A and B are shown apart, each in its own frame.
Chain A
């Protein structure tokens, strides 16, 4: 089903409006690398230069876009441009003035464009162009290449083209700044006498002609010419052609000559030493030779034309032995790289200052030599063993400044660099050092700046291992171990150290004061160790520290109090790949991490490992409120438990009072059956039966009393009877206070209930009858009762006629208060009046 066109159009308009909102920047879809400076628009299917890029742009990469044609002034809206990359833009046609206005352009890259038409004024206006890369642009001739006015050009790369002739046009004499011309991988076969005559006044030019199938160089073509460099690799398809072509170079004075082949482009078979005979007609300072098969076994005479060279590099040649070198060699530098030399050569070259003998897997063990001017010695990557290292005796020099013995087999430290006090750079990495931690090996190296003993199987046990290294700036000792996995005070002398690598050392502790003397340290790498806590206190002396790497440890947390001692100049802190504990007890550490996120590497991806409910969560997502909520929950719980306990206690204590309260509600509105509930001690029962009941129930008006011996329901608990029968069904309570009453627990209980009842029903319902005069001391045992009796009016029983009369009158009056008069009651009142009359 297709939507109706109108709806589709509507959707499209909406979508475009949305995109317009999203697309806030004009330079999109390009990538802004440096705002207003660098823009990358690589492979975006652009057919023209995007318009939204700011005119201040200095670097513009438009590579891999189908621009096809560059019209006039294509880039005039970017007058500040310095680098313009137009690699693989399918450009076939470049019009006149295409780059007009790019006064500051220094680099133009046109690699991989199938250019068919370059207008004569293509590069006009490029007043500052220094580097032109026109690799693989179908260029077949230099004659029509319109670069004659590019006077500022320093580097011209026209490799991988179809150029057949090295005939350099006259305009090259204009290019007075040209220093590098790459013509490699073209189709040049022959070099003739007049081809290069424009280069006669260009002594600073380096020329690369590699991978051209050269088969003829006319003798004299390079005569009296001076070049900075000439590279001819994989040019000749036989040793014979090579030999004749080298003769063709006769008369050339070149600083650096590079000959040889590439591993994947080998043509010269049966190379013999006569091939280089022609070099005797050249003046060469540096000679380099690489990748030649079938190198002669006997090199006697091979180097006779290189006697006066100052530097020789030989790489990937099957030189088995260096025996037979001429005695009068003036070489100051010799490099032998991957040459399969089967024995460590016994060199006798007094002029040699620099000797590089690396990656020659044939050599097994080092043997002493005498090179008394040697300053630079690189013997790395040979897998060699050194039975004794190192002293002047081994190398015969006292001038050595640079020594590299890395990536070898066992190096036994038998001497502490006696006579080699000028050493500045020492590298032992990935060789196995023996006896390095038994004495102060480096004691005499007070000028050493750089020391690398990484991965040398060294167990640091001796505190004086680095004694004497007072100038050392860089110490790399990754991949070693420490006694007890503790870092102790071994850096005391290293007061100039700026870089220290202690990664992969299985470290667990840092002893106190280890870093105290490292007052200039800027970089410290402690990654891939086994620290479980970030011990900020030990970094306190490192005021200049800028970069600290603690990644890949087992750091769970850190003491929050100590973190204030963290170096204040730190700009980068790496704590990635540590098992952080994000529980609330580490709250201050986690907060510190959040505060330091600006200097933390990859802070937003730091993850918690503990506690289980936080596993995999981001450290930055840790919230203090979580901990506060927990605190609140704890407080609320404690308070609730306390309150509940108090309530339960109170309920237990006032169980009956509560029952009374419940009863009040239930019976509150019901009618009272009794006029009074009498609380008395059983000891006073006689008085109650004979006096109280007789006078009140049989008297006028008749009152109905609730008496336990008569009215309580059998089978019901006494307490229940007291409450349900006694209080709830009675209007008033008569308390018969006597000595027995105070001494009876039941009576006191009943009295307390009565009080509560009085309080709850909020009426004055308790009538106190004091039967006997009470001793005050006895009464005081019942504080509340005493208080009440002293405050309230009570009736006192007096056993005489007048006293009795007044007593009953007052009691009746008290009982009448609030009595609901029924018919029976009214009659009672009349009777009472009669009786009253009769009495008076």
Chain B
């Protein structure tokens, strides 16, 4: 817990004119994230590594993404990551207090990042709408 009530800013990747910084916006905890294949030309199925100690059970898990550029909202997206019936990922159903370490691909299409600075707000929450993880990410492409 940062001394002034704010978590430190971490670097998820920095390479070839692309820099991804993030900061936890969950008042309860910080978490670790790194992105392999850091490049302006995002490949499909980027591999990430993500580590966290759960503060909530995640029988169900949902992700909200909000992309902003120059203060204006560009994209809002919400989708389920874990569902009760035949869960998709091996970490689904994990318990409060359990540690998760995920190293694997993200189901993203390939695309090009245009020059600029982008803010991304990511929030993971469970079936009780309790925040599991929250991040304010900044993508700087030059």
Which residues of chain A have a CB within 8 Å of any CB of chain B?
42-43, 63-64, 85, 87-88, 109, 111-113, 133, 135-136, 157, 160, 185, 210-211, 233-234, 258, 260, 262-265, 288, 290-291, 313, 315-316, 337
Separation of A386 and B91 alpha carbons in the complex (Å): 38
B7 at the interface (CB under 8 A from A): no
Residues of A within 8 A of B102 (CB): 264
The 8 Å CB contact of A63, one of B86, B92, B96, B105, is B96
Residues of B within 8 A of A233 (CB): 90
Residues of B within 8 A of A258 (CB): 86
Whether A111 touches B95, Cβ cut-off 8 Å, given contacts A88-B53, A264-B102, A264-B104, is yes
Nearest chain A CB to B90 CB, angstrom units = 4
Separation of A233 and B93 alpha carbons in the complex (Å): 13
Max chain A CB contacts within 10 Å: which of B88, B89, B104? B88
Q: Is the Cβ of A290 less than 8 Å from the Cβ of B86? A: yes
The 8 Å CB contact of A291, one of B88, B96, B97, B99, is B88
Q: Is the Cβ of A264 less than 8 Å from the Cβ of B90? A: yes
Q: Is the Cβ of B53 less than 8 Å from the Cβ of A112? A: yes
Whether A136 touches B99, Cβ cut-off 8 Å, given contacts A43-B28, A88-B53, is yes
Nearest chain A CB to B81 CB, angstrom units = 10
Chain B's interface size range is 20 to 34
Nearest chain A CB to B75 CB, angstrom units = 20
Please report which residues of chain B, range 89-137, place their CB below 8 angstroms from some CB of chain A when the two chains form the complex. Answer: 89-92, 94-99, 102, 104-105
The 8 Å CB contact of A160, one of B86, B92, B98, B104, is B98
Whether A263 touches B89, Cβ cut-off 8 Å, given contacts A43-B28, A88-B53, A112-B53, is yes
Q: Is the Cβ of A288 less than 8 Å from the Cβ of B86? A: yes
Q: Is the Cβ of A64 less than 8 Å from the Cβ of B90? A: no
The 8 Å CB contact of B96, one of A111, A113, A262, A264, is A111
Q: Is the Cβ of B90 less than 8 Å from the Cβ of A135? A: no
Which chain B residue lies CB-closest to A208? Answer: B93
Separation of A305 and B87 alpha carbons in the complex (Å): 25
Q: Is the Cβ of B90 less than 8 Å from the Cβ of A262? A: yes
Of the A-B pairs whose beta carbons lie under 8 Å apart in the complex, a sample of 19, sorted by A's number, is A43-B28, A64-B55, A85-B96, A87-B95, A88-B97, A109-B97, A112-B98, A136-B95, A136-B97, A136-B98, A160-B94, A234-B90, A258-B86, A262-B88, A263-B89, A263-B104, A264-B104, A265-B90, A316-B88
Residues of A within 8 A of B86 (CB): 258, 260, 288, 290, 313, 315-316, 337
Separation of A263 and B90 alpha carbons in the complex (Å): 8
Separation of A133 and B97 alpha carbons in the complex (Å): 11
Nearest chain B CB to A24 CB, angstrom units = 25
9 nearest interchain CB pairs? A87-B97, A112-B97, A111-B97, A264-B104, A262-B90, A88-B97, A290-B86, A265-B90, A315-B86
Which chain A residue lies CB-closest to B106? Answer: A264
Nearest chain A CB to B68 CB, angstrom units = 22
Residues of A within 8 A of B90 (CB): 185, 210-211, 233-234, 262, 264-265
Which chain A residue lies CB-closest to B90? Answer: A262
Separation of A234 and B88 alpha carbons in the complex (Å): 11
Residues of A within 8 A of B96 (CB): 63, 85, 87, 109, 111
Residues of A within 8 A of B89 (CB): 262-264
Separation of A337 and B87 alpha carbons in the complex (Å): 12
Max chain A CB contacts within 10 Å: which of B53, B98, B102? B98
Nearest chain B CB to A48 CB, angstrom units = 19
Separation of A135 and B96 alpha carbons in the complex (Å): 10
Which chain B residue lies CB-closest to A85? Answer: B96
Separation of A290 and B85 alpha carbons in the complex (Å): 10
Residues of A within 8 A of B105 (CB): 264
Max chain B CB contacts within 10 Å: which of A63, A64, A210? A64
Nearest chain A CB to B8 CB, angstrom units = 19
Residues of B within 8 A of A316 (CB): 86, 88
Q: Is the Cβ of B88 less than 8 Å from the Cβ of A111? A: no
Nearest chain A CB to B112 CB, angstrom units = 25
Which chain A residue lies CB-closest to B103? Answer: A264
Please report which residues of chain B, range 71-92, place their CB below 8 angstroms from some CB of chain A when the two chains form the complex. Answer: 85-92
Separation of A831 and B88 alpha carbons in the complex (Å): 141
Residues of B within 8 A of A113 (CB): 97
Separation of A262 and B90 alpha carbons in the complex (Å): 6
Residues of B within 8 A of A260 (CB): 86
Nearest chain A CB to B126 CB, angstrom units = 15
Q: Is the Cβ of B97 less than 8 Å from the Cβ of A64? A: yes
Max chain B CB contacts within 10 Å: which of A63, A87, A337? A87
Q: Is the Cβ of A157 less than 8 Å from the Cβ of B95? A: yes
Which chain B residue lies CB-closest to A157? Answer: B95
Nearest chain A CB to B80 CB, angstrom units = 11
Residues of B within 8 A of A109 (CB): 95-97
